[in-house]
Amino acid sequence: MINVDVSVARRLAAEVLGVGESRIWIDPEKLDEVSTAISRSDVRRLIKSGVIKVLPPSTPSRGRIRIKREKRKKGRGRGPGSKKGPRTDEKRAWIAKVRVQRRYLKYLKEKGQIDPKTFRQLYRLVKGGMFRSLAHLKLYMTQHKILKVEQHG
């Protein structure tokens, strides 16, 4: 079999079909016929007759993904170093939230707005994680008439 140059036809077919040259398939039985095609109309005729076709786009191999998925099923690669997005440290958030609430309760006790018994009850509720935030604690106190509604003047 003689080496027949079909690069011109391949390039023209790629342009006509709107795909890359690597996706052009040329029938190996009809290479002589394709090598004589020098115009776009020649190439269109060959496409119509099925001598030149478009190959489907190649997709990336999923082999590595399958292997990784199997490993992740076993628990590999699930640590904090593999997580994307903001790093939420639950403990730090808890500490900040509780400290604010406890500081507020201490302030109220020192001002004499709540008695030591009430302070201790609320302190325990804070420790139990009952309040989402300082605003939630204040809401609870006003609803249970522990704290008088503050007048904003």
Whole-prediction pTM value?
0.45
> Quick one: angle between helices 90-111 and 134-143, nearest 10?
40
Q: So what's the pLDDT on residue 80?
A: 82
Q: Where are the alpha helices (DSSP H) in 1-153?
A: 7-17, 31-35, 40-49, 63-73, 90-111, 116-127, 134-143
Q: So what's the pLDDT on residue 153?
A: 43
For domain 7-54, give the CATH number. 1.10.1650.10
Q: So what's the pLDDT on residue 51?
A: 95
Domain ranges of the chain: 7-54, 90-143
3-state secondary structure of 30: helix
Per-residue tens of pLDDT for the chain, all 153 residues: 567 889 999 999 999 999 999 999 999 999 999 999 999 999 999 999 999 999 999 999 999 999 999 999 999 999 888 888 887 788 889 999 999 999 999 999 999 999 999 999 999 999 999 999 999 999 999 999 987 655 554
What is the CATH topology of the domain spanning 90-143? 1.10.1200
Distance CA 97, CA 90 (A): 11
Q: So what's the pLDDT on residue 89?
A: 82
Mention every residue, 6+ apart, whose C-beta is less than 8 A from residue 3: none
Mention every residue, 6+ apart, whose C-beta is less than 8 A from residue 82: none
